[in-house]
Amino acid sequence: MKRMVVVGTQWGDEGKGKITDYLAQKADVVVRYQGGNNAGHTVVIKGEKHSLHLLPSGILSETIENVMANGMVINPKAFVDEIKTIKTPFKLSISDRAHIVLPYHPELDKAYEKHKGDEKIGTTHKGIGPAYTDKAARIGIRVSTFIHKERFYKELKELVEQKNFELSHYDHPNVDFESIYQEYRSYADVMAPYVKDTSVYLNQLIEQDKRILFEGAQGVLLCLDHGTYPYVTSSSPTASSVPLNSGIAPWLVEGAIGVTKAYTTRVGSGPMPSEILGDLAHYIREVGREYGTTTGRPRRIGWLDTVILRHTKRVSGLSYLAVTLLDVLTGIDELKIVTHYELNGKEIDRIPADIEDFMQAKPVYITLPGWKEDITKVTSWEELPIHAKEYLKKIESLVGVPIGMFSVGPDRDQTIMVTNFFE
Ligand code: IMP
């Protein structure tokens, strides 16, 4: 396969950045196709930690082409701050059709969440929902307008007036047009040299037979259409959203690697049937460093749930699985895996659309023996302890997708390919 998507199969934070970084070494191009700086990818290279929020994971390589495609919402201030942290030369293109996140978006995000009280979504407060809302309402500012001084001035002026009206309604402090305009003009100057029609560019790269990796942010359970609505983000991290959000034909996407943790985590509100509470959750959270890259929030912990993985396989498409953080489970005597749910006394193998039903779904588990051996230095499938192999084999058979990769630690060198699918 030459054009693959890296898909988060759970609620985000599956280790996509690490898998993308690993596969990117074999790629010519890395494309971010949705979301914004709500995402947080941690990449560790030779012990050095890099946190990426907006920039594609190929940005740390001097040779890879990086594309921020039309489906993204880009916060220019966050972009400028992040680009300054990249100390090595890089190649980058930004879509002229991507939307811009402006200071009133995070303010509205906070105001809506506050208004929702106990029913809040638990967003990252980065203004992602309000920015996509503007896009759907056809009042958003696109990159092409943002880098055009007069047009940006005119549109921003009208929008600030309208947004302040709404902010006042929520008793929330207003934003100031003049200071936003002055500050953001300077960010537009930094962004402008990278801007182009990335659909045209990507199709040229495809004609040149380049190897392309499409990098999803968040996970399928946070998809606006196929996630646990309303506790979702406002874009679609599925493989099926790639063509629309990057401007290529659907049949040009050749496959998807679904990244899953060896267990489950979730940040923010909403149901999580396999959630573990108490000491074991605390243990896994500490060993797995399960705190948000973007917000620092402690992540909720659960057993691996294969109903979720089969859902992801169906709605997104998955060619292979990449199982991350396998080492975190070392030393736990017994490991549980969700095989299906029970709802109103009936066995179900799907995620109920109604969130109240999903909250009542009871997970049904199988239990497997754990392993005690340190696996952090394992370099091949063969070197894994027998119980770790059995655990992975069980996931493979329950999900019906072969395991193409697994990882046993945060460093790039601790990722192991089982099958060379990206050739
Ligand atoms: P928003 O994307 O900030 O609107 O947040 C909506 C939901 O998606 C919340 O539950 C967030 O915690 C979650 N979310 C957004 N981005 C990420 C991510 O990169 N990893 C994990 N959860 C995320």
Cα(269)–Cα(231) distance, integer angstroms: 7
Known catalytic residue at 41: yes
- What would the pLDDT profile of 304-317 be if each residue is shown by its tens digit? 999 999 999 999 99
Compute the average pLDDT of residues 176-193: 98
| 134 is a domain residue | yes
Residue 195's pLDDT is what?
Answer: 98
* Same-domain status, 263 and 167: no
Residue 257's pLDDT is what?
Answer: 98
Which residue's CA lies nearest to atom 1 of ligand 1? 123
* Same-domain status, 143 and 283: no
Cis-peptide into 230, omega within 30 deg: yes
Which is more confident, 223 or 40?
Answer: 223
**Element (H or E) spanning 66, and its range?**
strand 65-68
* Same-domain status, 76 and 117: no
Name all residues whose Cβ lies below 6 A of ligand 1.
11-13, 38-40, 121-124, 126, 128-129, 217-218, 222, 231, 233-234, 267-268
Residue 363's pLDDT is what?
Answer: 98
Residue 412's pLDDT is what?
Answer: 85
- What would the pLDDT profile of 37-77 be if each residue is shown by its tens digit? 999 887 777 778 888 999 998 998 899 999 999 999 999 99
Q: What are the Cα distances from residue 287, in Å, to 281, 304, 327, 368?
A: 10, 16, 9, 20
- Of 21, 41, 172, 305, the active-site residue reads 41
| 208 is a domain residue | yes
Q: Is the pLDDT of residue 423 over 90?
A: no
Domain boundary among 172, 194, 216: 194
Mean pLDDT for all residues in the chain: 96
* Same-domain status, 184 and 202: no
**Element (H or E) spanning 51, and its range?**
strand 48-52
Confidence of residue 91 (pLDDT cuts 50, 70, 90): very high
Number of structural domains in the chain? 2
* Same-domain status, 121 and 251: no
* Same-domain status, 117 and 167: yes
Residue 18's pLDDT is what?
Answer: 86
Task: Report the DSSP pairing between strands 334-343 and 362-369.
Answer: antiparallel
Q: Report the sign of the C-alpha dihedral through residues 195, 236, 394, 330, in that order.
A: positive
| 91 is a domain residue | no
3-state secondary structure of 169: helix
Q: In sequence order, what are the residues at sequence separation of 6 or more whose Cβ sits closer than 8 angstroms to the Cβ of residue 78?
A: 36, 37, 53, 54, 101, 126
What CATH number does the domain containing 128 carry? Answer: 1.10.300.10
| 362 is a domain residue | yes
- Ligand 1 geometric centre to CA of 128 (Å): 9
Confidence of residue 190 (pLDDT cuts 50, 70, 90): very high
Which is more confident, 58 or 223?
Answer: 223
* Same-domain status, 157 and 306: no
Which residue's CA lies nearest to atom 12 of ligand 1? 268
Residue 295's pLDDT is what?
Answer: 81
Ligand 1 atom with the shortest distance to the CA of 222: 8
- What would the pLDDT profile of 119-168 be if each residue is shown by its tens digit? 999 999 999 999 999 999 999 999 999 999 999 999 999 999 999 999 99
pTM exceeds 0.85 for this model = yes
Compute the average pLDDT of residues 388-413: 96
Residue 46's pLDDT is what?
Answer: 74
- Ligand 1 geometric centre to CA of 226 (Å): 15
* Same-domain status, 159 and 225: no
What CATH number does the domain containing 396 carry? Answer: 3.90.170.10
Which residue's CA lies nearest to atom 15 of ligand 1? 38
3-state secondary structure of 175: coil
| 93 is a domain residue | no
| 333 is a domain residue | yes
Which is more confident, 266 or 423?
Answer: 266
Compute the average pLDDT of residues 171-178: 97
Task: Report the DSSP pairing between strands 255-261 and 3-8.
Answer: parallel
User: Which structural domain range is residue 157 located in?
Assistant: 99-194
Q: Is the pLDDT of residue 9 over 90?
A: yes
- What would the pLDDT profile of 280-337 be if each residue is shown by its tens digit? 999 999 999 999 877 889 999 999 999 999 999 999 999 999 999 999 999 999 999 9
Known catalytic residue at 13: yes
* Same-domain status, 34 and 16: yes
* Same-domain status, 71 and 205: yes
Residue 12's pLDDT is what?
Answer: 93
Domain boundary among 165, 194, 223: 194
* Same-domain status, 168 and 298: no
| 393 is a domain residue | yes
* Same-domain status, 177 and 257: no
Which of 110, 119, 123 to mutate for ligand 1's pocket (most ligand atoms within 8 Å of CB)? 123
Q: What are the Cα distances from residue 23, in Å, to 92, 201, 404?
A: 18, 21, 12
Domain boundary among 148, 170, 194: 194
| 315 is a domain residue | yes
Confidence of residue 414 (pLDDT cuts 50, 70, 90): very high
